[in-house]
Structure 1
Amino acid sequence: MRATVVRMGLLVLPLVFFALFFAYPVAAIVGRGLTDGGRWQFGRLTAVLGDPDILHVLWFTLWQAAASTALTLLVALPGAYVFARFDFPGKQLLRAVVTVPFVLPTVVVGSAFLALVGRGGLLDDLWGLRLDTTVWAILLAHVFFNYAVVVRTVGGLWGQLDPRQEEAARVLGAGRFAAWRRVTLPALGPAVAAAALMVFLFTFTSFGVVQILGGPTFSTLEVEIYRQTADFLDLPTAAVLTLIQFVAVLGLLALHAWTVRRRETTLRLVDAARTTLRPRGGGQWALLWGTVAVITLLLVAPLVILVARSFAGPDGYGTVFYATLGSAASADSTFAVAPLDALWNSLAYGAAATAIALVIGGLAAAALTRRGGRLVRGLDALLMLPLGVSAVTVGFGFLITLDKPPLDLRSSWWLVPLAQALVGVPFVVRTMLPVLRAVDGRLREAAAVLGASPWRVWREVDLPMVRRALLIAAGFAFAVSLGEFGATVFIARPDHPTLPVAVARLLGRAGELNYGQAMALSTLLMVVCAGALLALERLRTDHTGEF
């Protein structure tokens, strides 16, 4: 009984936070769009879904998400095998390189591919080939962004499977492929499904990549919600599209939770010892070098070209675009400050959002430490919703709901960190929860028997064991806060833009200076996010040697 009371007490602040800054804004947008004079107008659902243009957006959203997922699995599964089974020099560095794209803001990814396949990009200069207004640019950018999801999700389990099981099947007469298909593939199935669902979720709700690379030709649900809200002020259509995306995300999260439970069952049935060997034979070395080539061409090349474009001034290579970032006089007319100020704004917003996310996510993780029934699983899934629900809807909802006392925050500096923290909380929970659940409950019980209060139990027992996980969670929350774009684009004030907002505005204006400044700001944003990731890698690999 006491444990239940403590758990509910820990959940009070997270539930209030999500109710005020997530559920309330989203419900307000949907309510305004589907009501007229206080009466619900559900006929708008039929009207919107009967629009051929909207049906085309729905079809493209599903099609590109499915194609992106299939292409990502095709490209990344060999890499997952290489990282799981092979031991080679530079493995930890290569893992860090693979993970860098995932924590990069989507506007940086879009800018990188724009520098590669867009007008004046490398392919355009060499062969006159432009892909920035084709679906291939979007698909390749999604593979770039989600490669690490497959490598880490599938590779993590693959490395825990005992290779002797497959070897035993081959001794009994099965061929190499038959042994892999009958022994390894069924064990990997839940992990592959979980990775595929996460990639599908991220690409289904894609915004920044499609906004930059798709142009006016291609539009996902998220992009269409933004257009209907910001360009046309058509709240009924935006509300219907938000509901569709919300239902789809709920279904994907439910499927993902089911596959995760299956994966956990699989992990208990197999040998968890990692067995990595140096590559042997021409085939294994070819697979290793092929993986290195894919990572170099698909993940590293766009970032290198992005950096190169940021230094390619009108009179040759130099720092002219970086030099102009500090001057408000040379800034785009949509800026009230120098573009470089967006960097300091982003760092300040990110620090504040990280602090909020650690408090909210830490309390939620502590409350969900003990495995429970449907209520606990439901709360766990609730905390994941901000990753899939339209950030555009949340941002616009902030503007129309947080405008009256005692929550009149429209002119408050804290509005942006609050929106960014919504995205950071799920990463904090996902990072800390497994570690908290691994703490021996008998230690807590012994401390309680000796008279320690719940707070002292947490301070003396849990905190020393989860300190590194807490730092890692802070790093992830900071990185994703820096890159948040969908909500921030609505609520960031012109005199306090964030880096992603500044990059998007510069890319939306014509002129070599605007383009060069966008590349320079994207490079700075990439360096900051990569630095945060490398710090995380140092924490992850210290003492354990694991990623």
Structure 2
Amino acid sequence: MTTQPVRSGRGGPAAALGAAIPLLFTALLFLAPLAALAHRAVTDADAVSAVTAWQRTDAWHLLAVTAGQAAASAALAVVVAAPIVWLTATVALPGALALRVLVTLPFVLPTVVVGVAFRALLNGPLAALPVDTGLGAVLLAHVFLNVAVVVRVVTGVWQQLDPQAMAAARSLGASRLRAFADVVAPRLLPAVAAAAALVFLFCTTSFGVIVILGDGKLSTLETEIYQQGIGYFRIPEAVWLSVLQLLLVVAALALTRILAGRQRPALSDRGWPPARPDTWPLRCAVAAVVVWALAWLATPIVSLLLRSLRPGGRWSLAGYRLLLGEATGQSGAGSLWYSVTSAVAAMAIALTVGTVAAVTLVRVRGAVGALAAGLSILPLGISAVTLGFGYVLLTAELPREVAASPLIIPCVQALIVIPLVIGLVAPALAQVPARRRDAAAVLGAGPVRIFCTVDLPMIRRPLASAGGFAFVMAIGEFGATTFLARADTTTLPVLIGTLMSRPGADNLAAAMAASVILLAVSAAAVLLIELAAPQTRTAARR
């Protein structure tokens, strides 16, 4: 009698049951607040139609501004990132780790910190420029935030291109520039377009940057939703603006998926060979690109650090002393402690739910798997402000014990970062050989035991990387948390936004100090992630 291996990796009752976890989590924390928004919009005493709400709020102008600034930000990010992509993809650079950290750090920084950093830069070293607030300042900050998206996406594709096509063009007499234009550039265009679409998506839902740098001169759909819902408490108008923004975000997501699906360049097992900077022309080019990267990515960070130490034009730690005391009305130390603990809790929740969703995506076939995975990724397609506004309405109907629970903010933060966890863990799970799971199943191991003994050891580094990114993004979340924070659950980004909105040099000094502290925490987390990254890539090749 022949024993048939148990196909443990292809669904089964246990895997289907596991799909209920992301389904339930997403239904409770994502669909419920959206349902509360929709219900309030149609039952409110001042309920109006979508067309009327859009006319009252000048929605078409807001839509044009939102899409226009997002498109401009995406185009500028591609231009600024292009030299850095060349450097990271084709040159074996000493100190590559420091460059990767420098490129990645802006993307994971809290948007409110980026807004404060550019306020310090544009009102300090660059005060002579005619750009201090408004559209120009917002575009500069968006480029700073999203250069990492272009560098990560395009560099990854370039490093996998087959170098033989370039060599063939050179052998036929083409110059290096002509060979690049004819051979490499066409293969990179889909990746460039996909990265630009991602930047466009992120900028359509930008909130913290526009609130701080827009300075009332620039309004987008995101900021107007906040103004209508919280400032004026016009619920129908805020809801219908959220619907319009959701349509824009869905269109951007669809465009991103279409462009990403076109990335089919000729790949090579060896990948693109990095060149050593051993000639003077190459060394000069590398030096120029390094200066370019430092100017765009390091200058705002250094300016923020210096401004926090010179709040009144003199070297002083006054901002840090004010932050750690109660002079600002809230304890910075308490906000930092709550930020860290809530981010750790959010990381744990996101890793649990995101890993289960990733397992569902990889193993469970059919409608159940597609529904669980799709719902888990859905939060990427809606703005944090809309989500936070929905929570305001939802918690008002819940018992006080539930509405005041300290777990609400970590759960919302986890919901926002779960798509990132799925994106990092699912590809690693897909690489685990099915025969290993089958062998463990034949020996009598159950689904949980198989995951712990077979899958987990092989995905531990991508899982650790996902945890690091989840922590950094959770600790810096600003949009939804702004709606939910109370005196005892004020996170550091919310405190920074509050301090920036208050007049007075003391509040500004404390905001700068709080931004530097949050920057240091984020930088430490990114460094740990990057230290693990080379090992992760090596493990993936095996």
Structure 1 length-normalised TM: 0.92
2:398 matched to 1:400? no
Taking the TM superposition and a 5 Å limit, the aligned residue runs for 1:407-486 are 409-486=402-479
Query: 2:461·2:536 contact (CA, 8 Å) conserved in 1?
Result: no
Unaligned segments of structure 1, at least 5 residues: none
Identify the residue that residue 305 of structure 1 maps to in structure 2: 303
- Matches of 2:376 and 2:135, distance apart in 1: 32
Does 2:61 match 1:85?
A: no
Question: Partner letter of residue 138 of structure 1?
Answer: V
Whole-Å separation in 2 of the counterparts to 1:47 and 1:277 = 60
1:24 aligns with 2:32: yes
Aligned residue for 2:131, secondary structure, equals coil
**Structure 2, unaligned stretches of length 5 or more?**
1-6
Structure 2 residue aligned with 1:137: 137
Work out the CA distance in 2 between the residues paired with 1:315 and 1:395: 38
Return the alpha-carbon distance in structure 1 between the equivalents of residues 207 and 40 of structure 2: 23
User: 1:194 maps to what in 2?
Assistant: 194
Q: Map 1:311-322; keep pairs closer than 5 Å.
A: 311-314=309-312, 316-322=314-320
CA contact (8 A) 1:22 1:422 kept: yes
AA at the equivalent of 2:442: V
Partner of 1:531: 524
Tell me if 1:76 matches 2:81: yes
Query: Residue in 1 aligned with 2:205?
Result: 205
Give the C-alpha shift of residue 182 in structure 1.
Answer: 2.9
Q: Which residue of 2 aligns with 1:293?
A: 291
Q: Distance in 1 between matches of 2:194 and 2:366?
A: 21
The alpha-carbon deviation at position 212 of structure 1 amounts to 0.4
Q: Does 1:123 align with 2:126?
A: yes
Please name the residue that 1:325 is paired with: 323
Cα distance in 1 for residues equivalent to 2:175 and 2:203: 37
Say what the alpha-carbon RMSD is for the aligned residues.
2.4
* 3-state SS of 1:122 partner: coil
Query: What letter matches 2:265 in structure 1?
Result: T
Q: Distance in 2 between matches of 1:434 and 1:517?
A: 42
Cα distance, 1:151 vs. partner? 0.6
User: Separation in 2 of the partners of 1:156 and 1:302?
Assistant: 26
Residues 342, 502 of structure 1: 8 Å contact kept: yes
Deviation of 1:290 after TM superposition, in Å, equals: 2.3
Which residue in 1 is equivalent to 2:227?
227
Aligned to 1:386: 379
Aligned equivalents of 1:142 and 1:413: distance in 2?
32
| Residues 41-190 of structure 1 aligned to structure 2 (within 5 Å) | 44-51=49-56, 53-118=58-123, 121-124=124-127, 127=128, 129-190=129-190
Return the alpha-carbon distance in structure 2 between the equivalents of residues 399 and 136 of structure 1. Answer: 33
Structure 1 position 31, deviation (Å):
2.6
Length-normalised TM-score, structure 2: 0.92
Task: Give the equivalent residue in structure 1 for 2:14.
Answer: 6
The 3 A distance-change label for structure 1 pair 258 and 377 is: farther
Q: Which residue identity lines up with residue 139 of structure 2 in the other structure? A: L
- Aligned residue number for residue 273 of structure 1: 271
Instruction: In structure 2, give the amino acid aligned to 1:123.
Output: L
State the Cα distance separating 1:194 from its structure 2 match. 1.8
Instruction: For 2:240 and 2:397, locate their aligned partners in 1 and report how far apart those are by CA, in whole Å.
Output: 26
- C-alpha distance 545-517 of structure 1, shift in aligned 2 (>3 A): farther
- Structure-2 change in CA distance of 1:194 and 1:301 (3 Å): same
Q: CA deviation at 1:470?
A: 1.6
CA distance in 2, matches of 1:394, 1:93: 36
Q: Counterparts of 1:165 and 1:407 in 2: how far apart (Å)? A: 65
Contact residue 44 and residue 236 of structure 2 kept, 8 A = no
Report the Cα offset of residue 408 of structure 1.
5.2
Give the distance between the partners of 1:324 and 1:421, measured in 2 at CA: 31
Contact 2:106-2:145 at 8 Å conserved across structures: yes
Cα distance change on mapping 1:315 and 1:251 into 2, 3 Å: closer
Structure 1 residues 502 and 164, CA gap change in structure 2 (3 angstroms):
same
**Is residue 508 of structure 2 the alignment partner of residue 515 of structure 1?**
yes
What displacement does 1:313 show?
3.9
CA distance in 2, matches of 1:407, 1:461: 44
Equivalent residue number for residue 368 of structure 1: 361
Any idea what the Cα deviations from partners look like across 1:152-211, whole Å, max 9, x if unmatched? 110011011122211212322444444323321232232112211111111111111111
**CA shift for structure 1 position 288:** 1.7
8 Å contact 1:402–1:408 — kept in the other structure? no
CA positional deviation for 1:56:
1.8
Corresponding residue to 2:482 among 483, 489, 502: 489
Q: Is the 8 A contact 2:83 2:289 kept in 1?
A: yes
Match among 344, 352, 375 for residue 345 of structure 2: 352
CA contact (8 A) 1:32 1:235 kept: yes
Q: How far did 1:316 drift?
A: 1.7
Please identify, of 288-297 and 62-71, the stretch whose mean Cα deviation from structure 2 is larger.
Answer: 288-297
Verify: 1:343 aligned to 2:336, yes or no: yes
The answer to whether the Cα contact below 8 Å between 2:360 and 2:373 also exists between their aligned partners in 1 is no
Identity %: 42
SS of residue matched to 1:3: coil
Q: CA deviation digits over 1:422-444, x for unaligned, max 9?
A: 11211111111111111111111
The answer to which structure, 1 or 2, has the higher relative contact order (CA under 8 A, 6+ apart) is 2
8 A Cα contact 1:30 1:243, kept in partner = no
**Does structure 2 conserve the Cα–Cα contact (< 8 Å) formed by 1:162 and 1:275?**
no
Aligned pairs, number:
532
Query: What is the DSSP-based 3-state SS (H/G/I as helix, E as strand, rest coil) of the residue aligned with 1:500?
Result: helix
Equivalents in 2 of 1:406, 1:460: separation in Å? 42
**Cα pair 1:149 1:199 within 8 Å, conserved:** yes
Structure 1 Cα separation of the partners of residues 319 and 398 of structure 2: 43
For residues 363 and 445 of structure 1, what CA distance do their matches in structure 2 show?
Answer: 19
Query: CA offset at residue 315 of structure 1?
Result: 7.0
- Structure 2 Cα separation of the partners of residues 313 and 258 of structure 1: 48
Are the structure 2 counterparts of residues 205 and 261 from structure 1 closer, same or farther at C-alpha, using a change threshold of 3 Å? same
SS, match of residue 332 in structure 2: coil
